[in-house]
């Protein structure tokens, strides 16, 4: 099965259309008070009715075009049983940054990726509030379209000095994990917190953090506890923008969607610098 059979312009156009229509559901409830549930009793892992509606809408639309493909979505699966295969699989996060969505903080987005052989070959991320559409195909580059204007090609930052870098890092709750694991994660990041860099940012949504790297706004993004739907589209877009994705525990380990701790960097030099800092103590 050739990747080119799936990553063509017609697939990308279809996904962009679905993402934009799904974004209307999010925009319709923006600025309103929102009810929510806590997943499995975790007070920081939230879901709204809009999450469920958007995922159902995306799945129904995509299945009409690609009935033989597999589908994985954040709201429709048991996280412990997620199994990625080599078959064409749509990996969807209907609202990444649900907590942001609930609080009307505009760093929230839809993430849709088509994966083959467990890697994304088409990725679309759409923030319907900021009207920002990010997309990439394998080997075709990464692009940003804002407010319907012509798309511009994305390129990561050229900075190669960590001391002159802005870094995005999520230090909040590790969703679905015990508090002690979150404490371990924060301790693991402690050397970086004390390292002289330009500053730290926390956007509260994996997609928006990945896109900050792809746009060249930050030099790196680091997070633990990620799921396939958090990363699939974002990893592809960063990679096509010239970035580097590595696993925190081993910079030489190939990226995998089933990994939980990743570093998205603008280039190899920044990636290596972060690994040295994290392993310095």
Q: What residues act catalytically? A: 74, 93, 95-96, 98, 230
CA distance 92 to 244: 22
Alpha carbons 175 and 262: distance in angstroms, whole number:
16
By three-state DSSP, how is residue 211 classified? helix
Buried b (16+ CB within 10 A) or exposed e, 209-242: bbbbbbbbbbbbbbbbbbbbbbbbbbbbbbbbbb
251, 242 Cβ separation under 8 angstroms: no
Distance CA 267, CA 264 (A): 9
Q: How many CB atoms lie within 10 A of CB 6?
A: 18
Contact present, 195 and 162 (Cβ < 8 Å): yes
């Amino acid at each position: 099965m050739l990747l080119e059979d799936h990553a063509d312009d017609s697939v990308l156009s279809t996904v962009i259309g679905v993402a934009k229509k799904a974004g209307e559901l999010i925009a319709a409830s923006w600025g309103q008070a929102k009810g929510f549930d806590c997943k499995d009793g975790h007070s920081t892992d939230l879901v709204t009715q809009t999450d469920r509606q958007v995922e159902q809408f995306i799945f129904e639309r995509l299945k009409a075009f690609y009935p033989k493909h597999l589908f994985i979505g954040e709201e429709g699966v048991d996280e412990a049983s997620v199994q990625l295969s080599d078959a064409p699989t749509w990996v969807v996060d209907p609202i990444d940054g649900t907590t942001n969505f609930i609080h009307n903080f505009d760093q929230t987005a839809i993430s849709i990726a088509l994966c083959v052989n467990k890697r994304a070959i088409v990725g679309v991320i759409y923030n319907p509030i900021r009207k920002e559409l990010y997309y990439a195909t394998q080997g075709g580059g990464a692009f940003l379209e804002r407010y319907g204007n012509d798309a511009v090609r994305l390129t990561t930052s050229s900075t190669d000095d960590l001391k002159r870098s802005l870094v995005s890092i999520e230090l909040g709750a590790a969703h679905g994990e015990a508090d002690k694991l979150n404490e371990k994660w924060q301790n693991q990041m402690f050397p970086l917190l004390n390292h002289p860099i330009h500053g730290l940012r926390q956007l509260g949504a994996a997609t928006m953090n990945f896109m900050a790297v792809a746009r060249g706004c930050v030099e790196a993004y680091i997070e633990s506890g990620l799921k396939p739907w958090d990363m699939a589209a974002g990893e592809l877009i960063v990679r096509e923008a010239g970035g580097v994705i590595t696993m925190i525990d081993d910079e030489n380990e190939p990226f995998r969607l089933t990994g939980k701790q990743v570093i998205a960097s603008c280039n190899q030099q920044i990636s290596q610098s972060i690994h040295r800092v994290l392993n310095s103590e």
